[in-house]
Amino acid sequence: MYTCIVCGYKDLEMESYGKEYPSCEICSCCGFQFGIDDDKGISHDLWRETWIKKDCSFWYTPDRPIAWDVEKQLKSIGIMYKKKDANKNICPVCKYDGLDEPAYNSLGYGSYDICQGCGFQFGLDDYPDKNKGIQKWRENWIRGGSSWYSTSSIKPNWNPTEQLIHLSKIKK
């Protein structure tokens, strides 16, 4: 496996620039084609910049690793990148910010995802009154020691105390 010099993706099948010819492989992650896109005069830096501007969307999604960490990937090639908060899906109950999709869509329907922070299922545990359901779940969750629902998925830089401070601010 080889690393993409544009985005840092580590699963390229061929060396991007072999001894004689470029691989002509398209990076599954950033979509850069070695030997083709650069031949058009597009530099790696320019491609990367444009890709980051488009919020680093994974080019060929079936290849996307389950726990894809774009910040870490870019850091591995020396690029500092911070995901924008706007792209994060935040749980309205406990403020866990790692939901796979928005808790509620634009029509207000729940995603049926279960929050890994507090265990709330959007669209189910909020029935029949969304606001009351969320509030009640949150109170119970805090009363129960605000422990993480899924301990395996918790990011190391997240701690419930920080989250609770955040919540108490919202309550005011």
Among 70, 91, 103, 134, binds Zn ion (CB under 5 A): 91
Q: Does 9 bind Zn ion (CB under 5 A)?
A: yes
How many Å apart are CA 11 and CA 68, to the nearest integer? 12
The size of the interface with Zn ion (CB under 5 A), counted in residues, is 15
Q: Tally helices (H) and strands (E) across the chain.
A: 4, 0
| Residues 20 to 59 in contact with Zn ion, rule: CB under 5 A | 27, 29-30
Q: Does 74 bind Zn ion (CB under 5 A)?
A: no
User: Which CB atom, from 6 or from 56, has the smaller least distance to Zn ion?
Assistant: 6
- Asked if residues 59 and 68 have their Cβ atoms less than 8 Å apart, the reply is no
Ramachandran quadrant class, 119 (left: phi over 0; alpha: psi -120 to 50; beta: rest)? left
User: Which CB atom, from 82 or from 103, has the smaller least distance to Zn ion?
Assistant: 103
**Which element (helix H / strand E) includes 27?**
none
Q: Where along the sequence are the contacts to Zn ion (CB under 5 A)? A: 4, 6-7, 9, 27, 29-30, 91, 93-94, 96, 115, 117-118, 120
